[in-house]
Chain A
Amino acid sequence: MKNRIGVYICHCGSNISDYVDVEHVRELAEKVEGVILAKTTMFACADSTQKEMIEDIKSEKLDALVVASCSPKLHLETFRNVALRAGLNPFNYIQVNIREQVSWAHSDKPQEATIKALKLVYASIATVKHSKALKPIKIPSVNTVVVVGAGVAGMRAAIDLADMGSYVYIIEKEHFVGGRVSQWDNLFTTGETGREVISNIYNKIMAYENIKLFTGAQIVSKAGSVGDFNIKVEIKPRYFKPGAKVDPDKLEEVIQACPVEVEDDFNFNLTKRKAIYRNYPSEFPEIPAIDADHCTKCGICEEKCNDVDFSMKAETIEINAGAVLVSTGFDPYEPNKGEFGYAENDFVISLQQMKRLIELSPGELVFKDRKIKKIAYIYCVGSRQSEGPNKYCSRYCCTSAIYTALLLKEKYQGIKNIHLNRGIRTYGKQELLYNEASEKGDVFLQFDEGTPPKVSAENGQIKIKAEDILTAGREIEFSVDLVVLVTGMVPRKDNSIANIFKVPIGRDKFFNEIHPKLRPVETVIDGILISGACQGPKNIPESTNSALSAAAKANTLISKGDIEIEPKLAEIDEASCEWCDKCQVVCPYNAILKKDVNGKMVAEVNKANCKGCGMCLPVCESNSIQLIGYTDIEIESFIDTLAMD
C-alpha cells in the first residue's frame, strides 16, 4: 500500500479556484494519512510546476501522486510523464477532474463544489494507495488514414500524410473536390483564385500512389477503435463512365439538352443548373456528374453522349484505418427571411452571393437588370449575437467583405462602397486591406448591435437608415443599388458525420477539440481528429495549418505500427475460480482460455487478446476476476470515501 503520496490541486488560472476553495481542499488533503505533501498550483501543467513535482517526487521519495485539475482526457499523459521522469511508475498516479466535473458544472454553487472537489480528492487518495506499478501494452495499428472532406484542409492533410508514408483515403460527399474554396474567385493575399489553389492541390494528389480519392461518397458506419477502425463508405453513381473524356462542346450540348433545372448551390442559388452538371470548366475530377436526386432518367443525355451510363449502381466499400481526420468545412450563415430585407427584397444578397456574382459578371456589374454602382455592406449578420445562437465572430468576414469591395472597384467603373460595421476586425496583415479601402474612398460607418441599420424599399430604391456611433450616433440616411449582408460561418447543416464518429460539439455547435491550445486537433474519441473550419471559423491559411497539425498528430499516433494502450487486463484468481465458461462466453475477444491446474479446470487470460473491457467481471459468480486498475478494493475504497460525511 502506498504511503508517501503527493497531492497537487490546480487553480487552472481561475477556472477552478473561482468556484472551488482550493486552499481549503489542500489543507484538508494534507491531513490524510499517507499524504506527505499537498500543494496548490496556479497551473499544474506548466513546465515550472512539472519540474517542481519531479523534484518533490525525488526529494520526498513519493510513491504515488494525485493531481486534482482538469479532465484526465487533457493531461493524463502529461502527469504520467512527470511521474516517469521522476522515476515513479506512471500508473501510481491518479488525476481528479475538478474542473469539467466540479468547478464548471457547479459554478452556480461554489460551496458545494468545494465539498465535491474535496471528496473526490479524498477518494482518489484512497484509491491511489492501492495502485500497482504497471507497464503499458501494445496493440497493432493500421497505417491508413481516412480523411473526410476533399476541401483545402482535407486534401492538404492527405498530401502530408502520404508524404509521411500513410495510405490515405479521401472521402468527399460531393461529386467534385475543393469544398468552399473552389467557389471563391480571387483570394487575399496572393490574388490566386480558389480554383487555382484547388487545381494545384488536386494535381499533386493525383500523383500519389498512396492516396485514393472517392467523390460522391459518404461514410455510413464506423466500427472498431483507434488503430483498427472499420469504415463503410457508400459511393453514389456518377452516371458517367470512369475515365470518360467528354468533348467540352459536346458536354455543353448535353447539358443544354437536359430538361431538369434546379437551384445551383454552387452559385448560392443566384442561377439554375441542370441535373447533368459541372460547376465550372476543368473542375476536378474532370468528369461531369448527374445529380441522382433530381435526374428523371429521361434518357436524353444517354442518347446524345456515349459516356453516360445509367446502369451504374451505388456501391459500398469497407476501409480498415488506424485514424480518421474529419475536415468537413462550414456553411455560410443564411440570413432569415426579412433579416435586413433578405429574401424579401431582390437587391439584398449575402457576401457569398456577391462573390459569385462578381465571377458571373464579366463586363459590367448588372444584377436583375439593374446596373450596380452603389453598394452597402452590413457586417456581422448572424454573428456576434448577444441574444442569438451565434455568439462568436467568424473573423474572416471583415477581410473578405473589404477585399470583395476592393475587387469590385478594380473590376468595374464607378463603384461606391459603404461599410456599415460593428468594428472592423481585419487582423494581422489583413489590416493593410482596411487602409487601402479607406484610401480608395470606401466609407466606414459603425453601428451598435442595439441599433442596427434599417433597410427599406422605396420606389424601387433601397433606403438605409443608420446611426453612426463614430459621429456620436448621428442618423444617416442614404439609398443604394444593392445591399450585401456580410455573413459568417456556421456548422454544416448535414451533421451526420458527427453522429457516426461521435465527434463532440461545442457551444458554438462546431466540432470540439480537447483543448484549443494544448490539443487543438484531437477529439475525446481516440483516433478521431478534426481540422479546418469544421471546428470553428478559419481562413484558408488557418485551415491549412490545422490540417497539417492533424496530419502530424495522426501520423504520430499510427505510423509506428502499434499503439500503446492501458495495461488494464483481467486477472484470474485460480484458487477461487471454478470453471463455468461464463467469462469465456461473454468475452468479445476470445481472451479467456480454459486451463488445467493440477487437475482443476480454471480460466486463464490471453493477454494478447484482452482489451481490458471488463465484461467478464460481473458474470463471474465466484468473483474470481479482477481488472487491473478497477479492482474491488480500488472501486470500493473510492465509494467508501465518497460516501463519508
Chain B
Amino acid sequence: MDKGNNSGVKILVFSTEKISDPAIDLAGLLKMHYPPVVYTMIVPCSSAIKPRWIMHAFEKGFDGVFIAADGTDCPFSEKCTENTSEIVAQTHTIMKEKGMDAARLKMAAICSVCAEPFVKHMNTFVNYFSN
C-alpha cells in the first residue's frame, strides 16, 4: 500500500466523544487540511486512556500518539486534566524505561471548537517525525 507523502509517518489521536472529536470534525467541515497520516480513535474521556493502549500503538508501528484531551471542558470531572496528565506521566516513565523518545507522546486540551489548534498540533507533530 502506498504510504503517501509523509514517508510512512503514522499518528494515532485519542479524541473524546463530546469535546475534542467535534473539533476534529469541525476542522474537516472548515476544509482545514492536516496530514492524512493522522488517525483518530474516539474514547469517552481522555482520563480513560490506558497506558497499555498507547504502548500498544507504539509497538504496532505508530510514530506518535496525541491525546486530544478534554481539559477543563470535561463533562465528567474537574480533575480530568490532572488525571490525563498522570496517564501521560506514567506512560512517559514506561517509554523512558524502554529508551523511547518521550516526544512521541503528546497531550493538549482540544475543546469542541478548537479546530485550528488541532490542525496546528497535527502539522507540528507530523513534521517532528518527517524531519
Contact = CB atoms under 8 A, between A and B. Distances in A.
Interface string B1-41: 11111001010100000110110111111111110110111
Interface string A615-645: 1011000010001001010011011101101
Interface string A56-90: 00000000000000010100000000000000000
B18 A525 contact: yes
A119 B39 contact: yes
B10 A618 contact: no
A101 B112 contact: no
Contacts of A507: 29-30
Given A112-B36, A639-B12, A642-B39, A614 B3 contact: no
A639 B33 contact: no
A512 interface: yes
Q: Give 9 nearest A-B pairs by CB, closest first.
A: A614-B48, A100-B28, A643-B60, A112-B36, A613-B76, A104-B28, A112-B4, A524-B22, A100-B25
B68 interface: no
Interface residues of B, number: 55
Interface string A374-410: 0000000000000000000000000000000000000
A498 B113 contact: yes
Interface in A224-266: 224-225
Interface in A270-318: none
Contact of B25 (A71, A112, A612): A71
A473 interface: no
Interface string B41-84: 10111011111110011001110000000000101110110010
Given A105-B28, A115-B1, A627-B48, A504 B112 contact: yes
A639 B60 contact: yes
B31 A502 contact: no
Interface of B: 1-5, 8, 10, 12, 18-19, 21-22, 24-34, 36-37, 39-41, 43-45, 47-53, 56-57, 60-62, 73, 75-77, 79-80, 83, 87, 90, 111-113
B33 A107 contact: yes
Contacts of B43: 614, 630
Contacts of A640: 60
Contacts of B47: 586, 613-615, 618
B26 A643 contact: no
10 contacts: A101-B24, A112-B4, A116-B36, A498-B113, A502-B73, A612-B44, A614-B44, A617-B50, A623-B52, A632-B52
Count chain B CB atoms within 10 A of each CB in A100, A588, A636, A639 and give the residue with the most: A639
A619 to B, nearest CB: 8
A559 B128 CA distance: 51
A119 B41 CA distance: 12
A73 B4 contact: no
Given A109-B36, A618-B48, A630-B44, A643 B25 contact: no
Contacts of A642: 10, 12, 39, 41, 62
A365 interface: no
Contact of B62 (A97, A101, A643): A643
Interface in A496-536: 498, 502-507, 512, 524-526
A104 to B, nearest CB: 4
A557 to B, nearest CB: 15
B10 A643 contact: yes
Contact of A639 (B37, B56, B111): B56
Interface of A: 71, 73, 97, 99-109, 111-113, 115-116, 119-120, 123, 224-225, 498, 502-507, 512, 524-526, 568, 586, 588, 611-615, 617-618, 623, 627, 630, 632, 635-636, 638-640, 642-643, 645
A524 B5 contact: no
A109 B126 CA distance: 16
Contact of B57 (A108, A120, A504, A643): A643
Nearest to B83: A615
Contact of B41 (A104, A106, A635): A635
Nearest to A642: B39
A107 B29 CA distance: 11
Contacts of B73: 502
Given A112-B4, A636-B53, A639-B12, A618 B87 contact: yes
Given A524-B22, A615-B77, A618-B48, A104 B31 contact: yes
A637 to B, nearest CB: 10
A97 B45 contact: no
A363 B25 CA distance: 56
